[in-house]
């Protein structure tokens, strides 16, 4: 390979592909079927306890839960292998068929053991407390206690089976269709055909004419399938409305809050606190207009780099930067992080048909996490790598909690990722003295904060609007979706940003609205929580590392409030949200100081 081709491969991360075969013992699709066969046999054994859950003592209950854990491991291996292979090539019909087979067989297996959840929920509280006091159930204590929160919303076993089995050809199928539709969106830009993800990345370019062309290409690329994606969204809005009614949830967000172990009141307090500080993004965007030398930003200018040159990062450089940042905090974390690179746990390059965005798949405790990226060699990608690696480290360190407690509610799921991203940012900033470079770093970090806190709450308001309207008015038109999207964005942006006509359709590629309704506010929750955790690190230094690693290793084995206390955070304090928002405002003030130091502005935006 020539030096030029080597450099090209490095900047595209062309050779960074994951190896999924250990999930199925190197047997490919045959390994998937073998895992499903084993899971089916286990389910048959668990099913022999039907009607006898109330009679189980602690030893008997522990035995059932160990079998259930093994069942979850087998289904998790099969599902992770099929789902991750599909994620990197959603256009391959064989991979789609494999994933569908896993979903169908997995659903059939899970319906055989549905009785346990229902019989467990029916036990008296006194009996539950007596059982869970036994240390033989420590490995599953929080899970079993939390499962009883759903008691008011559970249906009869035949009804639960019907909903579970119909979901395979219902909401799950519609969600898969949406993924396939968005993964094949291509843009025509400057004589080339590029992926949607690549076009969106160009919105960070310092060249305004290129940003404008990229935005126009995105709008044009979204147009052909817009009505189809709107129909998918409408169908899923109606599906959720029906299920919420059947399960007696009072509103569209209640089931998500319950899953997140967050009260409706605390989530509304988060939304209110963020909306009350819209001055932060508006103040930044007004300053940014001055930095870019334009009177007012357009929506396609929001992510524009304020740098005078467009920085590019190769994969090797990014890996070194991120590993160095993690090592500066904890050599133990850095050692684990190194394994993600050395042992092929990451898939990084953009490919035709690959799912957009980035994510970490926890898989199962007996294996290890995998990271998916769409590498475009920009600085934002470096911080995305640090972010997803934080998720991966959280998943890896929590493996000892077992399959029931490895994961956390969504509201805590961003803690390690945002923390790792913030450590990486801090490392870069401390090593940067030149005013222009410092401004660039501060601007990129601040824009990440705004995107994760303010934009996600704006998207939550969009979701609130369309779920409510679908329930009250019936099927929504494309224009309805466009209007609600524009209104929710305008509330955040105020007069600081012009919303162009084409931007109204950009709701139509966001997967969270489809696959995980209500998800997006957890980003804001997690970001503000992680900032508070990072503040503890700033104040305590090395003495904080031990408690932080304990937090990660605990996974979801405790209620969120108790996990927060490990690192000195009080999630029940009404002032909690304001504390995180104040940290973002301080970063804005630092950016204003840096902007003045460059001489590019004379008076910061008010």
Residue-wise pLDDT for 78-89, tens only, equals 999 999 999 999
What's the whole-number mean pLDDT along residues 441-448?
Answer: 89
Q: Grade residue 554 by pLDDT with cuts at 50, 70 and 90.
A: very high
Domain assignments of the chain as residue spans, ordered by start:
21-169
Q: Long-range pairs for 158-166 at CB < 8 Å and ≥24 separation?
A: 159/246, 160/111, 160/114, 160/118, 161/111, 161/114, 163/243, 163/246, 164/107, 164/110, 164/111, 164/114, 165/107, 165/108, 165/111
pLDDT tens-digit map of 464-487? 999 999 999 999 999 999 999 999
Q: Is the dihedral of CA 183, 189, 194, 196 positive or negative?
A: negative
Please tell me the number of Cα atoms within 13 Å of 194 on its side-chain side: 20
- CA–CA dist 152, 149 (Å, integer): 8
Hey, what's the torsion of the CAs at 485, 488, 490, 491, to 10 degrees?
180
Q: For residues 189 and 217, is the Cβ–Cβ distance under 8 A? A: yes
Q: Grade residue 346 by pLDDT with cuts at 50, 70 and 90.
A: very high
**Residue 606: pLDDT over 70:** no
CB-based contacts of 339, cutoff 8 Å, min separation 6 = 345, 368
- Residue 103 tokens, joined: 């979903």
**Residue 250: pLDDT over 70:** yes
- Residue 240 tokens, joined: 């959720």
435-450 vs 379-397: helix axis angle to the nearest 10? 50
Which residue has 């249906």 as its token pair?
155
Question: pTM surpassing 0.85?
Answer: no
- CA–CA dist 213, 190 (Å, integer): 8
What's the whole-number mean pLDDT along residues 581-588?
Answer: 92
Of 269, 388, 261, the residue nearest 318 (C-alpha): 388
pLDDT tens-digit map of 359-415? 999 999 999 999 999 998 887 899 899 999 999 999 999 999 999 999 998 888 889
Q: For residues 280 and 527, is the Cβ–Cβ distance under 8 A? A: no
Question: What's the pLDDT at 1?
Answer: 46
**Residue 204: pLDDT over 90:** no
Phi and psi at residue 279, to the nearest 5°: -60, -25
CB-based contacts of 141, cutoff 8 Å, min separation 6 = 132, 557
Q: Grade residue 7 by pLDDT with cuts at 50, 70 and 90.
A: low
Q: 21-169 has which fold?
A: Butyryl-CoA Dehydrogenase, subunit A; domain 3 (1.20.140)
- CA–CA dist 77, 84 (Å, integer): 11
| CA distance to 88, 442, 493, 517, per residue, from 179 (Å) | 11, 34, 29, 15
pLDDT tens-digit map of 33-48? 999 999 999 999 999 9
Question: What's the pLDDT at 561?
Answer: 86
Question: What's the pLDDT at 5?
Answer: 57
Question: What's the pLDDT at 4?
Answer: 53
**Residue 51: pLDDT over 60:** yes
Q: For residues 147 and 93, is the Cβ–Cβ distance under 8 A? A: no
- CA–CA dist 394, 81 (Å, integer): 20
- CA–CA dist 210, 184 (Å, integer): 23
**Residue 61: pLDDT over 70:** yes
pLDDT tens-digit map of 320-341? 999 999 999 999 999 999 999 9
Looking at 19-33, 57-71, 403-417, 560-574, which range is the least confident one?
Answer: 560-574
**Residue 304: pLDDT over 50:** yes
> How wide is the angle at C-alpha 111 spanned by C-alphas 110 and 115, nearest 5°?
105
Percent of the chain with pLDDT over 70: 97
3-state secondary structure 502-554: HHHHHHHHCCHHHHCCCCCHHHHHHHHHHHHHHHHHHHHHHHHHHHHHHHHHH
Which residue has 């009883």 as its token pair?
148
Phi and psi at residue 251, to the nearest 5°: -155, 180
Question: What's the pLDDT at 573?
Answer: 80
Q: Grade residue 264 by pLDDT with cuts at 50, 70 and 90.
A: confident
Question: What's the pLDDT at 532?
Answer: 86
Cβ of 419: how many Cβ atoms within 10 Å?
A: 27
What's the whole-number mean pLDDT along residues 230-255?
Answer: 96
- CA–CA dist 244, 103 (Å, integer): 23
Question: What's the pLDDT at 71?
Answer: 98
Percent of the chain with pLDDT over 90: 76
CB-based contacts of 213, cutoff 8 Å, min separation 6 = 189, 190
pLDDT tens-digit map of 118-162? 999 999 999 999 999 999 999 999 999 999 999 999 999 999 999
End-to-end CA distance of the chain: 54
- CA–CA dist 493, 507 (Å, integer): 16
Q: For residues 222 and 185, is the Cβ–Cβ distance under 8 A? A: yes
Cβ of 495: how many Cβ atoms within 10 Å?
A: 10
Tell me the pLDDT of the chain averaged across its residues. 92
Computed on alpha carbons and rounded to an integer, the radius of gyration of the chain in Å comes to 24
**Residue 308: pLDDT over 90:** no
> How wide is the angle at C-alpha 529 spanned by C-alphas 341 and 423, nearest 5°?
40
Q: Grade residue 601 by pLDDT with cuts at 50, 70 and 90.
A: confident
């Amino acid at each position: 390979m020539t030096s030029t081709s080597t450099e090209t491969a490095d900047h595209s991360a062309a050779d960074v592909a994951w190896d999924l075969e250990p999930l199925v013992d190197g047997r490919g699709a045959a390994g998937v079927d073998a895992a499903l066969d084993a899971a089916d046999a286990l389910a048959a054994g668990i099913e022999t306890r039907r009607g006898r859950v109330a009679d189980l003592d602690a030893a008997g209950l522990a035995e059932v839960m160990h079998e259930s854990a093994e069942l979850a491991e087998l289904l998790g291996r099969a599902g992770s292998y099929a789902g991750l292979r599909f994620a990197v090539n959603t256009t391959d019909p064989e991979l789609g068929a494999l994933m569908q087979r896993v979903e169908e067989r997995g659903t059939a297996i899970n319906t055989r053991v549905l009785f346990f959840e229902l019989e467990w929920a029916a036990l008296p509280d006194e009996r539950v407390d007596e059982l869970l006091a036994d240390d033989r159930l420590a490995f599953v204590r929080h899970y079993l206690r939390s499962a009883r929160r759903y008691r008011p919303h559970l249906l009869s076993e035949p009804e639960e089976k019907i909903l579970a089995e119909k979901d395979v050809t219902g909401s799950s199928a519609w969600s898969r269709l949406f993924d396939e539709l968005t993964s094949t969106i291509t843009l025509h830009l400057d004589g080339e055909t590029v992926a949607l993800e690549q076009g969106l990345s160009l919105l960070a370019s310092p060249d305004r004419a290129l940003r404008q062309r990229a935005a126009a290409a995105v709008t044009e690329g979204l147009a052909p399938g817009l009505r189809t994606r709107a129909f998918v969204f409408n169908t899923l809005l109606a599906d959720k409305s029906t299920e919420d009614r059947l399960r007696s949830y009072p509103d569209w967000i209640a089931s998500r809050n319950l899953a997140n172990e967050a009260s409706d009141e605390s989530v509304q307090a988060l939304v209110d606190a963020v909306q009350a500080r819209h001055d932060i993004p508006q103040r930044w965007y007004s300053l940014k207009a001055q930095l870019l030398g334009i009177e007012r930003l357009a929506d396609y200018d929001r992510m524009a780099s304020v740098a005078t040159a467009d920085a590019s990062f190769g994969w090797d450089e990014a890996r070194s930067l991120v590993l160095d940042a993690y090592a500066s905090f904890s050599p133990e974390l850095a050692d684990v992080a190194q394994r993600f690179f050395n042992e092929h746990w990451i898939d990084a390059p953009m490919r035709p048909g690959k799912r957009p965005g980035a994510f970490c798949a926890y898989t199962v405790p007996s294996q290890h996490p995998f990271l998916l990226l769409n590498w475009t060699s920009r600085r934002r990608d470096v911080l995305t790598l640090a972010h997803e690696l934080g998720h991966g480290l959280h998943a890896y360190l929590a493996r000892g909690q077992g399959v029931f407690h490895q994961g956390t509610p969504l509201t805590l799921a961003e803690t390690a990722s945002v923390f790792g991203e913030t450590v990486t940012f801090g490392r870069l900033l401390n090593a940067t003295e030149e005013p222009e470079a410092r401004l660039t770093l501060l601007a990129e970090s601040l824009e990440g904060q705004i995107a994760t806190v303010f934009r996600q709450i704006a998207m939550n308001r969009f979701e609130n609007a369309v779920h409510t309207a679908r329930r009250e008015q019936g099927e929504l038109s494309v224009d309805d979706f466009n209007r609600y999207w524009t209104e929710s964005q305008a509330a955040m942006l105020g007069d600081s940003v012009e919303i162009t006509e084409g931007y109204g359709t950009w709701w139509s590629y966001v997967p969270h609205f489809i696959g995980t309704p209500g998800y997006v506010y957890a980003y804001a929750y997690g970001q503000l929580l992680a900032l508070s955790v990072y503040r503890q690190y700033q104040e305590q230094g090395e003495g904080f590392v031990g408690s932080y690693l304990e937090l990660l290793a605990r996974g979801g084995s405790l209620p969120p409030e108790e996990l927060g206390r490990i690192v000195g955070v009080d999630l029940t304090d009404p002032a909690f949200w304001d504390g995180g928002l104040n940290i973002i405002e301080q970063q804005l003030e630092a950016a204003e100081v840096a902007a003045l130091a460059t001489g590019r502005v004379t008076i910061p935006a008010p």
